[in-house]
Structure 1
Amino acid sequence: MNAETRLSHHILSVAERAAIAEIEATTDILRLVTKLTRMRFAAIAKFSDNQWVTCSVYDPSNLGIEAESTFDLETTICSDFCINPEALFIPQISQSPRHALRPIVKRFDLESYAGLPIFLPDGRLFGALCILDSQYITCEDPDVREVLSIFAKLIGCIFFANLSLPQVPERA
């Protein structure tokens, strides 16, 4: 187990890991998201105070970001949701002075980004639905954007339902 995975075990609660395991549909949702956007990577990420941790990943192109990978939140494009929690679509990151120099963009050679904040039904920002590609891909279709928004809401409701369940102590 690498350091990023060990750190993510402390960031993801037992209930959150159970929600991820229970929601086999998350992989199907992420797979569908990549088909809708024509991008090759999708993930559900949780935000902690200063960390971005992947809860679930669909990565047939082997981008290199795995489930339970952890990054400093400020290095990610998704960190924008902490300031402005609105859907963000960047078809050409290299042309965005604000985003092109982010460490995660450089590390994974990212060119296209679509992201939506995931809110829990009680209004708390949980994290983000992130869709990425190393190629230029535009996502202008308003129907696709609406479907992505519905998926982000669905994911937030599923996590909230599982977080609201009584906690079972984690085994060592």
Structure 2
Amino acid sequence: MFDVDVTADGQVDKATVRESMIGDREIVSCMEDALHGMSLPGVVASLRSSGPVYGDSVSPEGRAPMGHPAAAAAAAGAAVNLIPIVLIAGGVTILVAVTAHVAEEVVEEVGEAIEAARRRRAVEQMCATELERCLSYRPQPDWNQEDFASHKHCNFCYSECKKKGEWPDYKCPRPGYRPN
């Protein structure tokens, strides 16, 4: 079992053996060196997007899926367990487990990105609710027809709402709204 420290750009900064049943220190050292030479941008990207993790082996031909971390990895200290790697050499099967520890600045960045995504979803949900309300009653109030025609342009109001984070009552007034 290995622990690797991954920098913000996905480079393995440090690889250390946590636990080993292999009696040969040279093989373990070789495995540490191979892990240290890896690039794991998928680990960092997965924390940002909660998508699949893809690891880079030493050679481009050896690239293979390595795991799917939980979205909570950032909140749980940014340790991402990758699925085991199976090596077969000279008739011996070696199972290698790797835990990637991501740099502190990435954890903070991921936390901020998650919070921003939550805010965006809340705004989009509010805007979608107001869009439905607008589409259910499209006539523009008499007091607003001179500026914005006889019917509300609900889709334009929806787009503006998503950009600004609030429903544009001046353009698509909700029931009961009157300007001051």
TM-score range, shorter chain: under 0.3
Higher relative contact order, structure no. (Cα contacts within 8 Å, ≥ 6 residues apart): 1
**Higher-Rg member (1/2):** 2
TM-score w.r.t. the length of structure 2 is 0.27
TM-score (norm 1): 0.28
